Structure 1
């Protein structure tokens, strides 16, 4: 009989979530509005600071979609997107009939490469298509090179849609991720640093953008005694029940970040004498990662797969790094700029169990596989 499965990143309840849910049931707030929605947004605004205004939504993907809409993206436009990411970063571009233009990673942060980004912008402008927005991602909790990317965006007057779905609790030069973009996005999916079971948020410094986000997320109903709609809306608002889970999770966010970073240090110690393994880490003190997922690079694809299967045999979940978007069949016709850094990362990289709820026994099982393999 196999031992209990060790998951890559499973939900971790703090204990007080039930209180907020019970309160919602007691007051019959079983709807996409209510005290928990408002409270969760206020909790996030207080945590992020930097004059942030937050709209709680049904998913991070919904937040990306509404963000692109409010940045003026329409059918026929082009939007630059980091290629090394989850498909949810790119899919909303296509929802709007626009074309994603994929840009490679740089080696230190694994995030969007400033040099490749500027090359892409110049080439698209030369081809008569100035990009409408730049989607930059803080991958696995690691901040992208914020100063360099924002400087390029300002140089060409292109707004940045900051995908901070994996980076709540991370900082760049002591400023919270999720506060750098013209519009920023968070995710509270079940595997994230905190969860609402499913959910996300749009973050902005403009109160009017927040209000418009809520308007669009609640079917864009005009002010009238009857149901009247002057533009297309969406059913994207977070429910009061899910927001109740989020309120409880906010109480343990800092503790969860500390536990994830503790797992990173566990792996640092585990691999320090194994020359075949490179642990993904912050380039310097400007970067502070929540280490949502700890990840490693191996010499080649064969070794990566062999280690993944060794973990699988012991019922331990690991996962290859994201397959770049420009290699995905659905995006095969999209433009791409770079030097195949993301392809190399995908072939060699492996995400390791990183949950804030992993036990001493879990760590011992992970250690046993690594020592046996190497």
Structure 2
């Protein structure tokens, strides 16, 4: 609902019921909000109220204030979505007005929109996947091995320009194996991007290693080359040179590889490229996931393509990938019986899920184009309204826009007010990742900021991720845009 449409719902108590009936037809919401001279809500007026006035042959001049009624059922602006849903269900009503502390109407929540939730990034399946899954069942290949696993590995490796791939149970499992492949042992130091999901660095702890977090830089929101240089200088002084570095490509966009890779090469430190969010992106014409000694992708349900749950480890080194496959299948030795000489893991992807992945991979270019179109629509319709600054895409970068992200001037309180407003209308939006150096889990871990500041903290405190699914309809995106405009126009978001 636009702000103008909401304003049309606010009517004075002195309005006649006949004029109110005409206004209700015009607004087509099935409710009006009758307010007193100070703008406070006195009652809701439904189409049922007006029908009863007509059947009672009420005089045409009779006002809304004279009609029988009861105190309105309302919610405060701070009310969680669950409370709004409870009010609708408990009272069997279709609308709940939202009022401020003075009782003035600020919003209207309807049962219809709450039943039509808009998700941040929902799975988008097509027609190809079912054929591969049906084949897996028909041939009884449902174990964590089989022709779809082999095919998915070949096809993804070819698409990303990397020599070899191993299909695994999750992106986190792929990072864990990647760290082991790069020789990470208990007590080792591992550098890692701070602005990321915890799955990027939990595996560092699995290995018994110690993370050191690196800030973002404003131009890409990814790792800061300047902060990385400072971290290496510190590591050299402290005799804590990292065994490897986990470099994250955030929200579908590559890090600045030409600035970051030479720093690591100078110190002889390999890169584990976390491309969990950036399958289909490119950097200066080269696919994301093709820059690290090892790279990983995720196929979680919210990713740009999904296998429900799953991941992939890729590398040009055939021996590394062969070892990943061994470790992911309980490190079984090549013997007729079950022989084990080292610790292994149950990390392999099933043939059924790999079939889904093969179908999804065929539509990856379309999914990228659809997500970019969603982002472009947001930018076109919202621009810089209310202090919005969209996640930049420098020249030579081609982001998937996995999530459409921006920062909002005014800090954390204003961001949270916007998120509450969207959630009230059953629109899922989220803050940007909370940086790892601010997480209690990693309290005390060394952190190196960009040019003496803390860019990733600022991005978290002001950052918002909007619904970005490739299967969003035009009407869904229009609903998000309308609610964004209304929320940004309210005093708490101004």
Question: What band does the TM-score fall into relative to the shorter chain?
Answer: over 0.9
CA contact (8 A) 2:386 2:408 kept: no
State yes or no: 1:369 paired with 2:479.
no
Give me the CA root mean square deviation: 0.9
Counterpart selection for 2:166 from 55, 63, 71 = 55
In structure 1, the partner of 2:48 is none
Q: How far has the Cα of 1:273 moved from its partner?
A: 5.0
Question: How far apart in 2 are the matches of 1:141 and 1:21?
Answer: 27
State yes or no: 1:13 paired with 2:125.
yes
Structure 1 gaps of 5+ residues are: none
In structure 2, the partner of 1:326 is 437
CA 113–273 in structure 1, closer or farther in 2 if over 3 Å, else same: closer
In structure 2, the partner of 1:169 is 280
Matches within 5 A, 1:221-260: 221-260=332-371
Structure 2 gaps of 5+ residues are: 1-110, 490-494
CA contact (8 A) 2:251 2:278 kept: yes
Question: How far apart in 2 are the matches of 1:101 and 1:302?
Answer: 29
In structure 2, the partner of 1:108 is 219
Question: How far apart in 1 are the matches of 2:283 and 2:238?
Answer: 34
Counterpart selection for 2:397 from 287, 293, 296 = 287
CA contact (8 A) 2:382 2:481 kept: no
- Give the TM-score normalised by structure 2: 0.74
Q: How far has the Cα of 1:263 moved from its partner?
A: 0.6
SS, match of residue 168 in structure 1 = coil
State yes or no: 1:297 paired with 2:411.
no
In structure 2, the partner of 1:355 is 469
Q: How far has the Cα of 1:52 moved from its partner?
A: 2.4
In structure 2, the partner of 1:97 is 208
SS, match of residue 216 in structure 2 = coil
Q: Which has the higher contact order (CA 8 A, sep 6+)?
A: 1
Q: Give the ranges of 4+ consecutive aligned residues of structure 1 lying more than 3 Å apart after TM superposition.
A: none
In structure 1, the partner of 2:102 is none
Counterpart selection for 1:82 from 193, 197, 204 = 193
Q: How far has the Cα of 1:124 moved from its partner?
A: 1.3
Question: How far apart in 2 are the matches of 1:127 and 1:366?
Answer: 50
Question: How far apart in 2 are the matches of 1:367 and 1:3?
Answer: 18
CA contact (8 A) 1:89 1:135 kept: yes
Question: How far apart in 2 are the matches of 1:15 and 1:335?
Answer: 48
State yes or no: 1:311 paired with 2:422.
yes
